[in-house]
């Protein structure tokens, strides 16, 4: 079984509060993009993990794909195992949910391979125990996600948008970015309803004023490359450009494929980790279920 596990972008990201246990309450518009890792699953006696692609992540117990397989096995009592291979293309430490996408694909894929019969809602609840973005990566679509990632509202989307994604610098510590966020005096916040309306209508004119990531200023302060990449994308014709998640990846939104292709060719000369993709509906694609 082969699965394309797709990355995500944050069209908006707002922090609305904090629970007593320290978890942040979020309000985000998220959507999958066609940039993806490839997950291969096969029946086996034991659960094993191998990895490929660049950069390589340790195939150890800390890997979210392995955690997902073990969580499903414990939850269902399944007696067998699986050979899991993760080929990485989604940049690591980018705010694009690559690890969460891998975990989601393993949960959904093994649920089919093992015939364990969990419903979508059951998979999402199990996914939340692995990470806040995993339920979204199981669901896909344009979604308004609130709470700690468990509340999702499916939204209409008027079109798919051509994107150029750049990871201009090394990843950031999410904890460090959250700490710095709380040290701010004030920050600009997204107009979530205006962003929802713009995305539903496929209206590029309405997008720039509505899209805000409240974590972007503190991440830019720690990685100048983020600010530089956003400015470069806008200069090459992006309707708008924004950081996704807590960084360090940024994305430029283009009105047509030709302008996105032109910008990609220019950006690739300056930043090695530059990717051409587009928004989409499905968070994962099952390519082979033999």
Active-site amino acid positions: 8, 133
Residue 212: C-alpha distances to residues 10, 35, 162, 190 (Å) = 9, 22, 19, 4
Half-sphere exposure of 250 (CA within 13 A, CB side): 32
How many CB atoms lie under 10 A from the CB of residue 147? 16
Report d(CA 195, CA 212) in Å as an integer: 9
Report d(CA 199, CA 160) in Å as an integer: 9
Q: Which helix (H) or strand (E) holds 64?
A: helix 64-76
Strand partners, 3: 39, 286
Sheet holding 162-166, edge to edge: 240-243, 250-253, 162-166, 274-278
């Amino acid at each position: 079984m082969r699965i394309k596990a797709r990355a995500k972008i944050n069209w908006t990201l707002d922090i609305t509060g904090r629970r007593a246990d320290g978890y942040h309450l979020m309000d985000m518009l998220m959507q999958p993009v066609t940039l993806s890792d490839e997950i291969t699953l096969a029946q086996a006696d034991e659960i094993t993990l191998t990895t490929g692609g660049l950069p390589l992540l340790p195939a150890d117990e800390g890997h979210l794909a392995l955690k997902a397989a073990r969580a499903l096995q414990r939850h269902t009592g399944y007696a067998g195992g699986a050979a899991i291979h993760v080929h990485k293309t989604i940049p690591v430490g980018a705010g694009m949910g690559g690890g969460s996408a891998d975990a989601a694909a393993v949960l959904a894929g093994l649920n089919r391979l093992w015939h364990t019969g969990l419903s979508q809602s059951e998979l999402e609840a199990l996914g939340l125990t692995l990470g806040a973005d995993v339920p979204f990566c199981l669901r896909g679509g344009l979604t308004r996600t609130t709470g700690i990632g468990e509340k999702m509202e499916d939204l209409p989307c008027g079109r798919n948008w051509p994107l150029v994604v750049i990871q201009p610098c090394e990843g950031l510590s999410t904890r460090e970015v959250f700490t710095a966020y709380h040290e701010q005096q004030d920050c600009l916040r997204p107009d979530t309803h205006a962003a929802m309306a713009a995305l539903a209508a496929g209206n590029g004119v309405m997008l720039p004023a509505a899209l805000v990531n409240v974590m972007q200023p503190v991440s830019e302060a720690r990685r100048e490359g983020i600010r530089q990449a956003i400015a470069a994308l806008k200069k090459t014709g992006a309707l708008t450009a924004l950081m996704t998640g807590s960084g360090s990846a940024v994305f430029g939104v283009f009105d047509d494929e030709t302008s996105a292709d032109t910008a990609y060719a220019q950006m690739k000369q300056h930043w090695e980790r530059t990717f051409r993709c587009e928004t989409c509906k499905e968070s994962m694609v099952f390519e082979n279920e033999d």
